[in-house]
């Protein structure tokens, strides 16, 4: 059955990623494969770009792992979708940030599109705000939300204050 083959393909792909084995990763993806990471503006297209992307993750989180529950895998003849928790320690440079040594556990969803017997597209969605907090680069999300709300609520007062100053400076003496 095609759905079972797709699940086995994704499991092989994960195994290769977790072992930091690029040749084996490449055996599971098409030459024109595209990765989408919810925190990166542009898609990651082709094996060279995917290699750089994976290597940057492996440098930042050398012990990265995930262990999804098999009941959280959903497969069709063209897609595999999974819920998983990404776990790792921020031990190396990552996207311009210096390591903090902090351990992160971030929930996420991965969607794999299959063409033939290979993955041609991977979409990764995860809680980037929680990741930033756990990496030690942002305050707790609930604290950050409160700060953002205070800023938003104070903007009308600030704008009114600034506008009042502009009007007063423009009044003829």
Three-state secondary structure of 95-128? CCECCCCCEEEEEEEEEEEEECCEEEEEEEEECH
Tokens at residue 138, please? Answer: 């942002």
pTM of the model: 0.79
Q: What are phi and psi of 78, to 5 degrees?
A: -125, -10
pLDDT tens, position by position, 1-12: 689 999 999 999
Closest by Cα among 80, 87, 113 to 8: 80
pLDDT tens, position by position, 120-168: 999 998 888 888 888 888 766 566 665 665 556 555 655 555 555 555 5
pLDDT value of residue 171: 58
Q: What are phi and psi of 99, to 5 degrees?
A: -65, 150
Residues ≥6 apart with Cβ < 8 Å to 114: 6, 9, 77, 78, 79, 80, 120
Task: Indicate the Cα dihedral angle 154, 157, 159, 164, nearest 10°.
Answer: -160
The DSSP code for 41 is S
pLDDT tens, position by position, 3-41: 999 999 999 999 999 999 999 999 999 999 999 998 888
pLDDT value of residue 146: 59
pLDDT value of residue 23: 97
């Amino acid at each position: 059955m095609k759905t079972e083959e797709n699940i086995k393909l994704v499991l092989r792909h994960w195994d290769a990623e977790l072992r930091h084995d690029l040749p084996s990763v490449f055996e599971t993806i098409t030459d024109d494969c595209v990765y989408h990471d919810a925190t990166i503006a542009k898609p990651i297209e082709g094996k060279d770009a995917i290699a750089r992307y994976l290597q940057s993750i492996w440098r930042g989180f050398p012990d990265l792992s995930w262990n999804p529950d098999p009941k959280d895998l959903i497969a069709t003849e063209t897609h595999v979708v999974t819920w998983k928790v990404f776990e790792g320690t921020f031990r190396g440079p990552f996207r311009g940030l210096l390591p903090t040594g902090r351990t992160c556990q971030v929930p996420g969803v991965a969607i794999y599109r299959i063409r033939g017997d290979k993955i041609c597209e991977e979409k990764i969605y995860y809680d980037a705000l929680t990741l930033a907090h756990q990496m030690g680069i942002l305050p707790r999300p609930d604290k950050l939300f409160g700060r953002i709300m205070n800023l938003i609520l104070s903007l009308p007062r600030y704008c009114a204050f600034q506008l009042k100053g502009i009007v007063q400076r423009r009044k003829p003496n």
